[in-house]
Amino acid sequence: MSSRPLPVVQRVPLFQGTPEYEALRQKYLSELEASIPDEYYLPQSLIDNPPRDVTSIPRECGILTAEEIDITESYDATALAAAIASRKFSAVAAATAFTKRAAIAHQLTACLVEYFQGEALERAKALDEHLEITGETVGPLHGVPISLKEHMPIKGHYTALGFLDTRHIDDYDCQMVAILRAAGAVFYCKTNQPQGIMHLETASPLGRTLNPHNIDLSAGGSTGGEAALLSIRGSILGIGTDIGGSIRGPAGFCGIYGYKSTSYYLPTKDFLVGGFAAELTVLCSTGPMGHSLRDMDLFCSVVKASNPHIEDPALIPIPWTGISTTPKTTPLKVGIMWNDGAIIPQPPVKRALAWATEQLETKFPGKFEVKPFVPYKASEAMISIRKAYWPDGGNAVRAHLAATGEPMFPLTAWILKDAVSSEELPVSKVLEYRVACDAFRQKFVADWNAQDVDVVISPVFVGSACEHETAFYWNYTALWNYVDYPGVVFPTPIKALKKGAEDYAPEDATPLSKQDKHTRELWAKGDFEGAPINLQITARKYHDNELFAALASLQEALGLP
């Protein structure tokens, strides 16, 4: 036990609950603190006065060796798997490097909720022994460290469904974890998620996750712990879930890759024990988060090669071809969605869209047909999806909070506000929502067909990563959940500039809505300097392979890692 508490940077205080809640919260925080060795503690002076951008601290703090810096910074998951297979690095060396860096990352961003270095090193040692004895790896992810979002069950570790009263230790691996473990993965930590797992900011009873590029900004949610950990290179590959933007939003905020599959394409079995009532209308998806396009492809190829539909008949047995898929059309027809008709994105996002458009139009003439894309009634979809999320009127949320005296966080109240009721909706009303969603999807695809595009490039969010407690508008991600289209968020070289260096263009001077006006007020108030600007690419439902074929075609033109 350390002589001082684990130092963790926190910029905005968490919300206080009852004494029972605070005691339980402190118990879990103390367990996390006790799991991180003293020698990984950062100086208190750094915690008290951190720089705005903390991404270089793991490299400069003196805790990591030169080899550990090399392992965590110079490789993506594909290259690291090859390096371990060739015995350039041992699995133990890789696990040591990433567990140490994750401990540093947590102190800077509050990204972890559980840390199990000892178990990871034991697993890595067994993998090294297997390779030494047999000359073979156990699978394509042999020795690759993988981080997990908190609600994904892994044997012997905590799982929670976004509320403190749901936290418990599981005695089994969920299907996804079992597949990755069989492929050789090494698990070493669980990452933070927000209250209810339904915010685009990650603030939970165990901490508020900060954006490594600018700690005064959000890391996104609900997979914000993963995104922050990956962004600061404390992880090389992670897993998220997405029912409104929970993979894509954090990936965009933190400047990494994130892939939301079409529903029932990748396994989610046991991710949410007891289910989520929103899925009566809007379906959840899962997918990888990482540093390169080929890592997204590797992850999916491993998972789909295990034939997960044999165990879970809900899954659609479409084989994975990914970046090896042959494009169906030439030139590739790329729609650019400049806005959704409700909120014009803030200036850095528009700059990124302009950059992408120019790259595609000039780099490889004739390879891409670039055209504007106007989404069908996106505002209508947002009204519908907010209601569909909570057919119980938010009663389950209130019951979970009451169980321990957990306070309702402001963004929980925000996402509930259109659906709050003391009574659950009748079956007839839930059916009405489902029928309306199906009808909207039919009209949406007809409009997509009329605009004649293969894929659409669009914003990820109304701006860059937002300031804490201001992740209000999910428009640019939730639309695609409502129609159940797959999407990948990818990095660009664009970053938000110093405050005052850019503003809305004259042609965008008039707000499109009250939400647009509010977004401009947040822009004027905030300071987003250094925030990465990602974009999102989307394809038709179950055209996940075609989506990756498009990304492979775009890779050189956009300089994608």
Asked whether 131 and 92 are in contact (CB, 8 A), the reply is: no
What angle do the packed helices 475-483 and 378-388 form, to 10 degrees?
Answer: 80
To the query of whether residue 149 is one of the catalytic residues in this protein, the response is yes
> How far is it, in rounded angstroms, from Cα 244 to Cα 331?
31
- Residues in a beta bridge with 241: 286
To the query of whether residue 90 is one of the catalytic residues in this protein, the response is no
Tokens 């965008």 belong to residue: 508
Q: Is the four-CA dihedral 225, 517, 528, 361 of positive or negative sign?
A: positive
Catalytic residue among 246, 261, 263, 384: 246
**545 phi-psi bin (left φ>0, alpha ψ -120 to 50, beta other):** alpha
> How far is it, in rounded angstroms, from Cα 560 to Cα 546?
17
Q: Is 197 annotated as a binding residue?
A: yes
Catalytic residue among 222, 285, 384, 464: 222
Q: Is 74 annotated as a binding residue?
A: no
Map residue 146 onto helix, strand or coil. strand
Q: Is 2 annotated as a binding residue?
A: no
Catalytic residue among 100, 147, 149, 204: 149
Quote the tokens at residue 87: 């015995």
Asked whether 140 and 302 are in contact (CB, 8 A), the reply is: yes
Q: Is 385 annotated as a binding residue?
A: no
> What length is written for the chain?
561
Asked whether 387 and 418 are in contact (CB, 8 A), the reply is: yes
What's phi and psi for 289, nearest 5 deg? -130, 135
To the query of whether residue 45 is one of the catalytic residues in this protein, the response is no
Q: Pick the closest to residue 561 from 379, 322, 296, 308 (CA basis).
A: 296
What angle do the packed helices 19-35 and 395-404 form, to 10 degrees?
Answer: 80
β pairing state of 487-495 and 455-459:
unpaired
Q: Is 162 annotated as a binding residue?
A: no
**285 phi-psi bin (left φ>0, alpha ψ -120 to 50, beta other):** beta
Q: Is 247 annotated as a binding residue?
A: no
Q: Pick the closest to residue 389 from 314, 315, 270, 482 (CA basis).
A: 482
Annotated binding residues for substrate, written as ranges, equal: 197, 222, 243-246
Residue numbering of the annotated binding site: 197, 222, 243-246
Active site residues: 149, 222, 246
